[in-house]
Structure 1
Amino acid sequence: MSDPILIDLHCHLLPGIDDGASNENATVDLMRKEEADGVRAVMFTPHFYYERMGLDSFAENRKAAYSVAVKACQREGIRVAAKCGAEVHFTPALPFLDLSKLCYAGTHYILVELPTNVHPAGIEETLYSILQRGYTPILAHVERFPYVTENPALLYNWVTMGCLAQVNANAFLRGGETAKAVHRYVKWNLIHLMASDAHSIKRRPPNLKDGHAALPADLSEYFMRNGEAVFFDREPSLPEPVEPKKLFGLWK
Structure 2
Amino acid sequence: MIDIHCHILPGIDDGAQSERDLVSMAQLASEDGITTIVATPHHKNGNYENVKVTILKAVESANKILQKKGIKVMIKPGQECRLYGEIIADFRAGYIQTINDSKYLFVEFPSSQVPRFSKQLFYDLQIERIVPVIVHPERNHVFIKKPEILYEFVKHGALTQVTAGSVAGKFGKNITKFTFDLIESNLTHFIASDAHNTFNRTFNMTEAYEVINRKYGIDYNYYFKENAERLLNDDHVMSEQPQRVQKRKILGLF
TM-score if structure 2 supplies the norm length? 0.89
Aligned to 2:189: 192
Aligned to 2:27: 32
Instruction: Report the AA paired with residue 129 of structure 2.
Output: G
Aligned to 1:228: 229
- Stretch moving more, 209-218 or 162-171: 209-218
Deviation at 1:127, TM superposition (A): 0.9
Measure the CA separation in 2 of the matches of 1:248 and 1:136: 29
| Uncovered stretches (5+) of structure 1, i.e. residues with no partner | 1-5
Contact 2:38/2:78 (<8 A) preserved = yes
Measure the CA separation in 1 of the matches of 2:112 and 2:250: 22
Contact 2:62/2:75 (<8 A) preserved = no
Pairwise CA RMSD:
2.1
Deviation at 1:247, TM superposition (A): 6.2
Instruction: Report the AA paired with residue 192 of structure 1.
Output: H
Local SS of the residue matching 1:157: helix
Local SS of the residue matching 2:68: helix
TM-score if structure 1 supplies the norm length? 0.90
Deviation at 1:237, TM superposition (A): 1.8
Aligned to 2:240: 239
Gap change, CA 1:152 and 1:72, over 3 Å in 2: same
Residue deviations 1:18-37 (CA, integer Å, cap 9, x gap): 11000111101101111111
Measure the CA separation in 2 of the matches of 1:248 and 1:173: 19
Pick aligned residue for 2:53 from 57, 60, 63: 60
Residue 94 (1) aligns with residue 95 (2) = no
Local SS of the residue matching 1:72: helix
- Stretch moving more, 203-212 or 157-166: 203-212
Gap change, CA 1:245 and 1:54, over 3 Å in 2: closer
Measure the CA separation in 2 of the matches of 1:42 and 1:29: 14
Write the mapping of 1:39-188 to structure 2, written as runs, cut at 5 A: 39-49=34-44, 58-98=51-91, 101-174=96-169, 175-188=172-185
- Stretch moving more, 98-107 or 6-15: 98-107
Measure the CA separation in 2 of the matches of 1:51 and 1:15: 19
Q: Equivalent pairs: percent with the same residue?
A: 29
Measure the CA separation in 1 of the matches of 2:181 and 2:188: 10
Measure the CA separation in 2 of the matches of 1:85 and 1:11: 9
Contact 1:50/1:91 (<8 A) preserved = no
Deviation at 1:245, TM superposition (A): 4.3
Measure the CA separation in 1 of the matches of 2:111 and 2:180: 20
Gap change, CA 1:176 and 1:24, over 3 Å in 2: same
Contact 2:145/2:250 (<8 A) preserved = no
Contact 2:43/2:49 (<8 A) preserved = no
Residue deviations 1:171-195 (CA, integer Å, cap 9, x gap): 1111511111111111110011000
Instruction: Report the AA paired with residue 196 of structure 2.
Output: H
Measure the CA separation in 1 of the matches of 2:27 and 2:194: 16
Measure the CA separation in 2 of the matches of 1:187 and 1:63: 36
Gap change, CA 1:44 and 1:188, over 3 Å in 2: same
Residue deviations 1:82-119 (CA, integer Å, cap 9, x gap): 21010001112212222663211231000000111122
Local SS of the residue matching 1:202: coil
